[in-house]
Amino acid sequence: QSALTQPASVSGSPGQSITISCTGTSSDVGGYNYVSWYQQHPGKAPKVMIYDVRNRPSGVSNRFSGSKSGNTASLTISGLQAEDEADYYCGSYTSSSTLWVFGGGTKLTVL
């Protein structure tokens, strides 16, 4: 099982907003503002969408936003578009012997 817990799937209609959660512990998500979110389309390499909880890399749409409360981080996608349909993974720095951990991934379906 993955170190961080994500819902297996979420869905939404075009134009709507969805939120994906990512729950860890005080050793990872809760202890540091070092959470990233990655988007992966089938057969492609992941792409970073959010880093350090809420920062967007250059070129990423402002429809993507991140936040954190306690041991749970969240990714919100507003104004859903067909091209947003993909798998989304959270990742976090961890103070355990492992440096970085990923979530189990969430499949986003745009209805």
Partner 1 sequence: QVQLVQSGAEVTEPGASVKVSCKASGYTFTAYAMHWVRQAPGQSLEWMGWINGGNGDTKYSQKFQGRVTITSDTSATTGYMELSSLRSEDTAVYFCVRGYNLGSHRPDYWGQGTLVTVSS
The reply to whether 54 sits near partner 1 by the rule CB under 8 A is: no
| Angle made by CA atoms 103, 106, 108, in degrees to the nearest 5 | 155
The reply to whether 95 sits near partner 1 by the rule CB under 8 A is: no
Q: Considering only 9-17, 61-69, 72-80, 102-110, which stretch makes contact with partner 1 by CB under 8 A?
A: 102-110
Task: Judge whether 22 and 72 are in contact, CB under 8 Å.
Answer: yes
The reply to whether 57 sits near partner 1 by the rule CB under 8 A is: yes
Distance of CA 11 to the CA centre of its chain: 15
- With CB under 8 A as the contact rule, the residue among 12, 24, 66, 91 that binds partner 1 is 91
The interface with partner 1 within residues 24-53 (CB under 8 A) comprises 32, 34, 36, 38, 45-48, 51-52
At 57, phi and psi to the nearest 5? -65, 155
Residues 6+ apart with CB under 8 A from 46: 38, 39, 40, 89
Q: Which residues bind partner 1 (CB under 8 A)?
A: 2, 32, 34, 36, 38, 45-48, 51-52, 57, 89, 91, 93, 97-105
